[in-house]
Amino acid sequence: MSSIQSRIVRYGDLKPCKTAFIDAHTPGSDQKENFTIVGGGVSESPDQHVHITDKIGFNIGAAGQPPKCRNSLHSHTTAEVFFVAKGRWRFFWGLHGDAGEFIAEEGDIFNIPTGIFRGFENVGQDYGMIMAILGGDDAGGGVTWAPHVIEDAQAHGLMLGDNGVLYDSKKGEELPHNVRPMPLLTEEELKAFPEVPVEEVMPYVERYWDLMALAAKKPAKVIGEDAIIKDKPGFEVDFLTRGSAVTEPVTTAQPVVLMPASGHWRITIDDVEVTLSAGDTAVVLPGESYSVTPSMTGEAGLYRITATDDTAGATWTG
C-alpha cells in the first residue's frame, strides 16, 4: 500500500506528456498535454508519467491545452467523464465532429456516452485544464480513433501500431517487424458508431452552479444508478459544498478520490492533513478514514468519486 502523502497530487506538480496520442504532430492538436494521475491512463506513449500507480478500479487523468488546441475524434468502450478545472471548453461528437456540441464552463461535468466519436477544444482565452475519470483499470484498452485522425497523423510522421504503441518516423522509428499498422475502421464497422443528436447527449451534462444549489445541505448524487446522470461505470460521483462537507471522519470500504472544483478544502486521511484546491487530487484507500471540509470562507465545491463493484463497460441505460 502506498503512503498517504504519495497519494496526493497537486495541480502544480502534474507532469505532462506531449506525445501521448496519435495526433501529437497534427497541426491544431500538437500543443496538447496529457496527464495520468491515477492508474495507467489512456496514453499511447512510453513517455507518459504516472503519478499514482495504485489500481483502484478507475483512472484519473487530465488534459491541458492552450487556446484553439483540440483533441481529435476518438471513441471509448468504458466511461470518459470530464469536469472543467480551468477555462472554457467545447465538446463535440460524431464521426466528423458535427453531430452536436456544447460549451462547458469551470466546474461543469460531462459523462460522455460510450461508443460515439468525441473530441474537445479549448475555446477560452488562456491555457485550460479538464480533469478526467476513466472507467476500468485498463482505460487505454478501449480507445478507437476515427480513420481520418490516423491518416492525418501518418501524414505528419506518427504511426500507431496494432499493439497500441506510437512510433515517430521523425525520430527514425519504424514499426517492429512483428507489429502491423493499426487497421482503419471499415465503412461497415463505422456504422456501429452512431451520430447522436444533441438532445440525447445533454442529459449526460450537469452544470456546476446547479450542483452548488443541489448540494447546499446534502451531497448531490451526480453519476450513479440513482443519480442525476444515470450510469453504472464502475464508480459513483457526488458533489460536496460547505453545507454538505464530511465534517466527521468516515471509514471507506471502497477507494475514494477527492477532487476540489473550487475553493480550498482541508482533507484529513487517517492522521495526515493537507489543504487542496482546484486541480489537486487525493486518493483514499479502503480501510482509511477521511474528512473533507472547506478551509476558508468563500465559494467551495468538490467532486468525490467512489469505486463500485460494477464492471466498467458501455454506458448503462437501465
Domain ranges of the chain: 5-204, 207-307
Collapsing DSSP states into helix, strand and coil, what is residue 79? Answer: coil
What pLDDT is recorded for position 317? 87
CB–CB of 50/15 below 8 Å? no
**Distance between alpha carbon 235 and the CA centroid of its chain, in Å?**
13
Write the CB contacts of 306 (distance below 8 Å, at least 6 apart in sequence). Answer: 235, 236, 237, 238, 252, 254, 255, 256
Q: HEC states along 165-212? A: CEEEHHHCCCCCCCCCECCCCCHHHHCCCCCCCHHHHHHHEECHHHHH
CA dist 48 and 31 (Å) reads: 15
- Which residue ranges in the chain fall short of pLDDT 50? none
CA dist 112 and 68 (Å) reads: 21
What pLDDT is recorded for position 140? 56
> Per CATH, which fold does 207-307 belong to?
Jelly Rolls (2.60.120)
**Does 5-204 match 207-307 in CATH topology?**
yes
> Per CATH, which fold does 5-204 belong to?
Jelly Rolls (2.60.120)
What pLDDT is recorded for position 318? 78
What pLDDT is recorded for position 154? 87
Strand partners, 248: none
Place of cell 463535440: 92
What pLDDT is recorded for position 139? 65
What pLDDT is recorded for position 1? 62
What pLDDT is recorded for position 211? 98
What pLDDT is recorded for position 27? 80
Quote the pTM value. 0.94
Write the CB contacts of 229 (distance below 8 Å, at least 6 apart in sequence). Answer: 109, 111, 203, 204, 206, 222, 223
What pLDDT is recorded for position 313? 93
Task: Kindly state the cell numbers that stand for 174.
Answer: 519504424
